[in-house]
Amino acid sequence: MNEFLSLIDRAIQSYNDYIGGYLILFLLIPTGIWFAFRLRFINITKIPHAIRVVAGKYDSKGTAGDVNHFKALTTALSATVGTGNIVGVAMAVYLGGPGAVFWIWVTGFLGMMLKYSEVTLAQKYRRFNSDGTVSGGPMYYMEDGLKDKLGKWAKIMAVVFASATILCSLGTGNMAQSNSMSDAMFTAYQVPTWISGLLITFLVLLVIVGGVKRIGDVTARLVPFMAVVYVGATMMVLVAEYDRLPAAFMMIFESAFTGTAATGGFVGSTVIMTMIWGVRRGLFSNEAGQGSAPIAHAAAKTKYPAREGVVSLLEPLIDTIVICTMTAMMIIVTDTWQTGNKGVGMTVDAMNTGLHRFGIDGMGSHIISFGLLLFAFSTIISWSYYGSRAAIYLIGEKAVKPFLYLYGLFVFFGAIWGLDIVWHFVDMVITFMTIPNLIALLLLSSVVVKETKDYFKAMESYKP
C-alpha cells in the first residue's frame, strides 16, 4: 500500500513540477492584469462601496436567493480563510523562501479582480432548483455564457470544471484541512490521527446535512471569532518584534527577484521556484480564479450580479493581503523559517518565540491549534457545499446525499494520510479547476465589463 501511494505521489509531483505549476503561473497573473485594466482597478476604488453592501445598506426584501450578502461573504471566506493562512504560508516560505510572500501579495491583489469577475458571472447565469434553492458557479456560466462562442465545447468545458470541483472539494477543501487539524492535534496534544479523524468526520456530517443556510449560520459566527483570535495573537508577536519588520519587508522584496540561498533548515530557491510557490499558495489561500467562491456567492440575495461581485472583492483583501501577510511576517521576524520545521510546526515555533517576549511560554501551540481547528473546520463545511453543487450539475439533486457521505469518508482519509501526498494532490486538482475557469473568464470579459457599467450607472441614481 505504501509503495502504491509513493508511486501515485511521484506521478502527481511530476505533473505539478513540469506542467501544472507553470500553467497557473503564466495564466493567472496575466488574466488578473487584463481585468485590472479593463475594469479600471475597481479592486481599489470600490472597496468603500463593498463595505456598505456587506453592512446591508442596499438590502431589500423579496430579492431572490438563499442568503444575504454578509452570509455569502462569510461562507466564501470560511472556505478560503483556512489552513492556507497558517500552514500554506509556512509551506510557501519553506519551499520558496521569504520572496514567495511577494508573489502571494501579487496573487491576492490581482485575485480581487478575478474574484469580482467570476462572482459577477455566477450571479448572472445562476439557476434555481426545484426546492427553491440556488445553484450557480463557473459550470453554469461556461455552459450558458459560452454556448454561442464554443458550441458543444461549452458544455464539455462545464463538465470538466464540475468534475474538477468535486475532486478539489475532496482535496483542497477537505483532506488538506483535516490533515492539518489532525497534525495540529497530534503535535500539541499527542492525539492519534485516527481519533481526530473520526471526531472531525462526525462533526462535519452533523453540520453539512443542513445545507447552505445552516452552513451560512455557522460560518457567520465562526469566521469573525476565529479571525479575531488568530489575528490578535499574531499581532502580539509582530508588536514584540516590531524593530525587525523593516528588514523583513526588505528581505521579501529582494528575494522575490533574486531567489534565496539555503540557510539553516531552509531548502533554498531560485527566482522561478519562489514565484511558483508564492502563486500556488496565494491561490490556495484566496482561491481567486479557481472558481470555487462563485458557487457560494451565486446564492446571495441581489438583483444586480455586479453587486455581489463587489462584495467578493473583500475576500482576497482580508484573506491574503491581511491574514497571510501577518503569518508570513511572524515567521520571518522570528527567524523560524530557517529552523527546518515544515508546515504547522513552523508557525507554532514562530508564535511561541514571539509570545516568549511577553513571558507567555507554550501558548503558541494552543493558539495555533485552536485557530487551525476553527479555520479548517469552517473550510471543510463550506467546500462540502461547493462539491454538492457540482454533483447536482453533473448528476442531479439525488446525488447530494451520497456525495456528502463520500465527503465525510475523505475527511477521515485526509486526517490519517501523510502530509506530503495530501498537499501534492491539492496542488494538482487546483489546476484542474483554475485553468478552464480562467479561459472562461477571458472569453466572457465583455459580459463582466457590461454588468459593471450597468450596475454603477444604476447606483448613481440609487435612493434608499
pLDDT tens, residue by residue, 325-379: 999 999 999 988 887 777 778 888 899 888 888 878 778 888 888 777 877 887 8
Q: Do the domain assignments include residue 13?
A: yes
C-alpha dihedral sign at 83, 26, 431, 341: negative
Q: Do the domain assignments include residue 463?
A: no
Q: Do the domain assignments include residue 129?
A: yes
Helix axes 419-443, 138-145, angle to 10 degrees: 30
Average pLDDT, the chain: 83
Q: Do the domain assignments include residue 251?
A: yes
Q: Do the domain assignments include residue 87?
A: yes
Query: Does the pLDDT value for residue 122 go beyond 90?
Result: yes
pLDDT digits (tens, 9 = 90+) for 92-114: 888 888 888 999 999 999 999 99
pLDDT band, residue 462 (cuts 50/70/90): low
pLDDT digits (tens, 9 = 90+) for 165-205: 999 999 888 888 888 888 878 877 888 989 999 999 988 88
Per-residue model confidence (pLDDT) at position 407: 94
* Domain around 158: 8-449
Specify whether the CB–CB gap between 286 and 319 falls below 8 A.
yes
Q: Do the domain assignments include residue 213?
A: yes
Specify whether the CB–CB gap between 300 and 56 falls below 8 A.
no
Specify whether the CB–CB gap between 364 and 190 falls below 8 A.
no
Q: Assign residue 269 the CATH number of its domain.
A: 1.20.1740
Q: Do the domain assignments include residue 274?
A: yes
- Better-scored residue on pLDDT, 78 or 422: 422
Cα 192 to chain centroid, rounded: 27
The number of distinct structural domains making up the chain is 1
Query: Does the pLDDT value for residue 428 go beyond 60?
Result: yes
Q: Note if the pTM is more than 0.85.
A: no
Instruction: Identify the CA nearest to 99 among candidates 271, 326, 275, 252.
Output: 252
Query: What's the CA dihedral at 117, 120, 124, 127 to 10 degrees?
Result: 100
Query: Does the pLDDT value for residue 223 go beyond 70?
Result: no
Specify whether the CB–CB gap between 99 and 256 falls below 8 A.
yes
Average pLDDT over residues 66-86: 67
- Better-scored residue on pLDDT, 435 or 73: 435
Q: Do the domain assignments include residue 189?
A: yes
Per-residue model confidence (pLDDT) at position 176: 82
Specify whether the CB–CB gap between 75 and 216 falls below 8 A.
yes
Query: Does the pLDDT value for residue 437 go beyond 90?
Result: yes
| Per-residue H/E/C for the chain | CHHHHHHHHHHHHHHHHHHHHHHHHHHHHHHHHHHHHHCCCHHHHCHHHHHHHHCCCCCCCCCCCCECHHHHHHHHHHHHCCHHHHHHHHHHHHHHCCCHHHHHHHHHHHHHHHHHHHHHHHHHCCEECCCCCEECCHHHHHHHHCHHHHCHHHHHHHHHHHHHHHHHHHHHHHHHHHHHHHHHHHHHHCCCHHHHHHHHHHHHHHHHCCHHHHHHHHHHHHHHHHHHHHHHHHHHHHHHCHHHHHHHHHHHHHHHHHCECCCCCCCCECHHHHHHHHHHHHHHHHCCCCCCHHHHHCCECCCCHHHHHHHHCHHHHHHHHHHHHHHHHHHHHCCHHHCCCCCHHHHHHHHHHHHHCCCCCCHHHHHHHHHHHHHHHHHHHHHHHHHHHHHHHHCCHHHHHHHHHHHHHHHHHHHHCCHHHHHHHHHHHHHHHHHHHHHHHHHCHHHHHHHHHHHHHHHHCCCC
pLDDT band, residue 38 (cuts 50/70/90): very high
Cell digits of residue 148: 454561442
Average pLDDT over residues 212-235: 71
Per-residue model confidence (pLDDT) at position 76: 65
